[in-house]
Structure 1
Amino acid sequence: MSNLPLDVNKTYLVTGAAGFIGFYLSKKLLDQGCRVIGLDNMNEYYDVQLKHDRLDQLTPYDSFKFIKGDLADKTLIENLFKENVPDIVINLAAQAGVRYSIENPDAYMQSNVIGFYNILEACRHYPVDHLVYASSSSVYGANKKVPFEESDFVDHPVSLYASTKKSNELMAHTYSHLYDIPATGLRFFTVYGPMGRPDMAYFGFTDKYFAEEPIKIFNNGDFENDLYRDFTYIDDIVIGIERLLSTKPTGDVQHAVYNIGNNNPEKLMDFIFTLEKALSTALEENIEFEKVYEPIKPGDVPATYASTDLLQEAVGFKPQTSIEEGLTKFAKWYVEYYQKKNSVKA
C-alpha cells in the first residue's frame, strides 16, 4: 500500500455526484481545491428535489463540472473519459436498495452491472491512477460469524442488489488482473446523516411521523433477538474514502476491498429510540413513533457488523461517530430543511 496525501492537481470523476455519498465526497474534494467531474442520471428512485438541492451546493465551485448522464450509456461514458481524462474515478452511482431490487430487477442489472462494466472498459482504454468503487455490506448475506471480515466467504447473497455488488468486486478484480487497473472496493455499512436517502429506514421513520402515520418495524416485535445494524455516519464514510483515494493497492493484482463501518452494531430498536430523542430535541417537544411490527422482509439480514482492522491498518482511520451525535445532526437538518421547504410551498 502507498498512502499519500490527496493530489489536488488530479482530476476526480465522481459518479452519483448528486447522490448522498457522492455529494459529500465531491464537496470535500472541491473544498480542498480538486477538480471534480460529477456524473448523475438524476433518476426518480427518490425525491429528485433533494438531488437538485445537493447539486446546488456543488455548482458554485469553478472547479466542478456536472454531466447529466447514465452509466449504462457506453458511448456517453467513453466520450466523458476521452474529453475529460480523469485521473481518479470514484464510482458511487448505482441503483440502491435491497427491497426495491425484488420489485425492479432490471434497474439493478442496467446500472450496477452494465454501468460498472462501462466504467471498467473506460478505465481500460483511458488508463486511470486509481478506481475506487462502492460495494456493500450486503455481500455478506446472512453470514453468522461476526464481525464481518473482508476475507469471509461471500458467495451466498440474499438479494439481487447484493449479487450485483459482489459481481462488481469480481469484475474489478478481473480487470485489475488483466489490465493493471488499481482498483479498491468499499463495503459500506448502513450510511446515514443529513441530506441522506429518503428510502433509508431512519429517514422514512421521520417522514412517517410528520405524515402522522405508523412506522413499520420488520423484526416481528422480538426485542430480545432484534435486528442489529452497523450504522455509519456520512462524515466517517467520506474520510475513509478520501484517505483510500491515494492508497493504491499493490501486488500482482492491484485490487483490494475494505469495510467502512462503525464496528459497533446497534439494536434497531435502540436506534429508533435514539432517533425519537433526537427529534424531540430538535422540535422541543416529546416525540414518539407509532409502531407496527411485521416479519422480516425477503433480502433483509439479521445483523451487519464490520471489522475495520484492514481499513485502520491501511489508512490509520476507524469510523467512530456515535448514533447520538449522528442522529442529532440528522434531526436538526431534517426539521430545518422541511420547514423551509414547506414555507416556500405556502
Structure 2
Amino acid sequence: MSYNQLDTNKTYLITGAAGFIGYFLSKKLLEEGCTVLGVDNVNDYYDVKLKHTRLQELEPYEKFTFLKVDISDKEDLTKVFKDYKPNVVVNLAAQAGVRYSIENPDVYMQSNVIGFYNILEACRHYPVDHLIYASSSSVYGANKKVPFEETDFVDHPVSLYASTKKSNELMAHTYSHLYNIPSTGLRFFTVYGPMGRPDMAYFGFTQKYFNGEEISIFNNGDFNNDLYRDFTYIDDIITGIESLITCPPQEKVPHRVFNIGNNNPEKLMTFINTLEKCLSNSMGKEVVFKKKFEPIKLGDVPATYASTERLQEAIGFKPETSIEEGLQKFTDWYVKYYNVVVDESTYKVKRTTL
C-alpha cells in the first residue's frame, strides 16, 4: 500500500530526539528535507555520551533545531508549542525500562504520566495535524494468547512502566475524543540496532563480554520453555513511523493504536547465539559469552509476539530485516564506536571507551 509523501513545509516535533528511536526518526525526516524540532532533557538513565553523539550527528542539518526541555515541565513545553507551532508531534520522550520502574517509580510518573499529559494539553491549545506517541508491548502483561492483538484485554499490566503506557493510551483516547486531536499510539516490540540503548539486553551482553563479565539470562536455564521476544530492527520501525505520519486517523476514528513489531518471535537463546556469531564476524575471532542462568525477573513476561495485521492493512507495514542482518549491523557499529581491538600478542580483546 502506498502512502502520501512527507510535507516538507511542515514542522515535525520529535520529543526524545537524543534517544534511540527519536534520533533515527529525526535523521530520516531531515534526510527527506523536513524541518525537525528536537526536544530532550538528556537525562543520565544511561551513558549521556551516546545521547550527545546522536545529537552531534543531527546538528549539521540546517533544518534541525534542538531544545533541551523536559516534557514534565509544562511551562517550558508550552512555550515550545507557542513559539514553533509544530504541525506533527511524535512523542518518544519517556522513562524506559521495565525493571528500573521497580527501583525508581517516581521518575516514571513524572515523565510518562505528567509529561504525556503536558503533551496532550499542548496539542489541545496549539492544534496539530497528528500526534503519534510511544506505547509499549508491555501493556499486554502476562497474556498467554499469542500473537498479541490490539483488541486483546490489556487491563492487567505487570509493571509500573506498563501501567504508565496503558495510561497514555487512555489519556490520548480521551483527549482525542474531547478535542478532536488525531492520535496514533504505537506498541513497540523490543527495538534494537546500532546506537541503541545500553540498558537493552543485547547491548548489555556485548558490554559485559568486553568487560570479561558473565551475562545473566533470566530464563531459568530452561531451553525448552525459553523466553520469546519479537525483536524489531530500528530501520523497520522508522519506515513504519514515517508512513504513519502521512496517514493520520480518519475523523470518525480520531484515536487508534497499532502494534509495531516483527511478527516473528525468536527464542532468547537463539538471539544470544546469533549475537555471538555476529560479534565473532565483527571481531575476526570466536566470541562466546560467559553465561549465568537465573529465574525470570519480576515484571518480565514469557513472550512478546506482535500481530501486525492492523498496521499492514493501514500502511502496508512489513518488516524486512532478519536478526542476523540486524545484529551484524549492531556489532559492526559497536566494534567501531568503542574502538574494540584484538591484542595479537595476548589474543585478548580490548574495548576502549570514548
String of CA shifts for 1:71-118, please: whole Å, max 9, x gaps: 100000100000000000000000000000000000100000000000
CA contact (8 A) 1:216 1:291 kept: yes
* Contact 2:2 2:315 (C-alpha < 8 Å) held by counterparts: no
- Normalising by the residue count of structure 1, what TM-score does the alignment of the two structures yield? 0.98
Displacement after TM superposition at 1:2 (Å): 11
Change (3 A) 1:217 1:334: same
Are the aligned partners of 2:214 and 2:292 in contact in 1 as well (CA < 8 Å)? yes
Instruction: Name the counterpart of 1:97.
Output: 97
Post-superposition Cα deviations, 1:181-208, rounded to whole Å, max 9, x if no partner, equal: 0000000000000000000000000000
Displacement after TM superposition at 1:68 (Å)? 0.3
- Overall identity of the aligned pairs, in %: 73
State whether residues 177 and 252 of structure 1, in contact with CA within 8 Å, keep that contact through their aligned partners in structure 2: no
1:20 to partner: Cα distance: 0.1
Q: Which residue of 1 aligns with 2:157?
A: 157
* Superposition misfits of 4+ residues, deviation over 6 angstroms: none
Runs of 5+ consecutive residues of structure 1 not aligned to the other structure: none
Amino acid at match of 2:238: V
Give the secondary structure class of the aligned counterpart of 1:339.
Answer: coil
Residue 274 of structure 2 is matched in structure 1 by 274
Deviation at 1:252, TM superposition (A): 3.1
Q: What does 1:225-236 align with in structure 2 at a 5 Å threshold?
A: 225-236=225-236
Q: Name the residue aligned to 1:5.
A: 5
Alignment-derived partner of residue 47 in structure 2:
47
State the Cα distance separating 1:292 from its structure 2 match. 0.2
Determine the structure 2 residue equivalent to 1:145: 145
Matches within 5 A, 1:244-323: 244-323=244-323
The number of residues matched between the two structures is 345
Residue pair 2:14, 2:39 contacting (<8 A) in 1 also: yes
Listed as ranges, the matches of 1:331-342 within 5 Å are 331-339=331-339
Query: Residues 340 and 209 of structure 1: is their aligned pair in 2 closer, same or farther, counting only changes over 3 Å?
Result: closer
Shift of 1:4: 2.4
Q: Secondary structure, in 3 states, of the residue corresponding to 2:319?
A: coil
Find the aligned partners of 1:2 and 1:192 in 2 and give their Cα distance: 26
What is the distance in 2 between the residues matched to 1:195 and 1:86? 27
- 1: distance between equivalents of 2:15 and 2:253? 24
Q: TM-score, normalised by structure 2?
A: 0.95
Q: Which SS does the other structure have where 1:224 is aligned?
A: helix
Mapped pair 1:37 → 2:43: no
Distance 2:125 2:59 in 1: 29
Task: Provide closer, same or farther for how the CA distance between residues 34 and 217 of structure 1 changes in structure 2, counting only shifts above 3 A.
Answer: same
Tell me if structure 2 keeps the 8 A contact 1:41–1:69. yes
Specify the alignment match of 1:108 in structure 2: 108
Say which SS state the counterpart of residue 30 (structure 2) adopts: helix
What is the identity, as a one-letter code, of the residue corresponding to 1:173? H
Equivalents in 1 of 2:340, 2:80: separation in Å?
Answer: 36
Give the corresponding residue for 1:70: 70
Contact 1:139 1:162 in 2 (8 A): yes
Which stretch shifts more, 253-262 or 108-117? 253-262
Higher mean Cα deviation, 318-327 or 192-201?
A: 318-327
CA RMSD between the two structures: 1.4
Tell me what 1:203 maps to: 203
Q: Distance in 1 between matches of 2:230 and 2:274?
A: 15
- 8 Å CA contact 2:21–2:92 kept in 1: the answer is yes
Q: Does 1:60 align with 2:60?
A: yes
Post-superposition CA distance 1:14-59 (Å, at most 9, x none): 0000000000000000000000000000000000000000000001
| Deviation at residue 8 of structure 1 after TM alignment | 1.1
Q: Is the 1:191–1:231 contact (alpha carbons within 8 Å) kept by the matching residues of 2?
A: yes
Residue 320 of structure 1: how far off its partner (Å):
2.7
* Preserved CA contact (<8 Å) 1:2 1:247: no
Q: Tell me which amino acid in the other structure corresponds to 2:208.
A: K
Alignment of 1:22 with 2:22, yes or no, is: yes
Distance 1:194-1:142 versus aligned 2 partners, 3 A rule: same
Name the SS for the 1:206 alignment partner.
Answer: helix
Range that drifts further, 316-325 or 172-181: 316-325
Letter of the aligned partner of 2:29 in structure 1? Answer: L
Q: Name the CA shift for 1:315/1:223 in 2 (closer, same or farther; >3 Å).
A: same
Conserved? CA contact 2:2–2:316, under 8 Å: no
Match of 1:224 in 2: 224
